[in-house]
Amino acid sequence: MTGPQAGRATLGRGERVISPATFRAVYAARARAGDGRLVVYARASGLSVTRLGLSVGRRSGGAVARNRTKRLLREVFRRARADWPTGYDVVVVTLGRDYTLKEVDERLRTLVPEALRRAQKRADADAGARGATP
């Protein structure tokens, strides 16, 4: 094992969407999928890793509830990211409260691939509009 993250099951700084400008860019790409409890936005980033950003507002409960929700979202993302293509920024927005690990797992495994598919479709359309070959 090599590197600072070897053997660790965490999302490092390079695997998270942190800057407000990146959040705005992901939202502006308008490639999203939602189900009433979660909305997943995605945007091709061109990086070698898929990064996660979280938006858990006060409607999701107090600080303890929001932090628990974020831990659940990060855990499911960390477990499932090997099944998804790399090179995307993904932002998850919560619309409710009282999430369970099973619920988050089922919802993200459905919504993230759909949002990634829409982001890829948009990236291909943008490349075609610029005259580049996909």
Which pLDDT tens digit goes with each residue over 33-72? 999 999 999 999 989 999 999 999 999 899 999 999 999 9
**Cα angle: 106, vertex 53, 22; to 5 degrees:** 140
Residue 37 has a pLDDT of: 92
**Fold classified for 13-127:** Ribosomal Protein S5; domain 2 (3.30.230)
Sequence ranges of the domains in the chain: 13-127
pLDDT at residue 8, as a whole number:
57
How far is Cα 130 from Cα 123, in angstroms, rounded to an integer? 11
- Determine contact, residues 80/112, Cβ cutoff 8 Å: yes
The pLDDT of residue 1 is 40
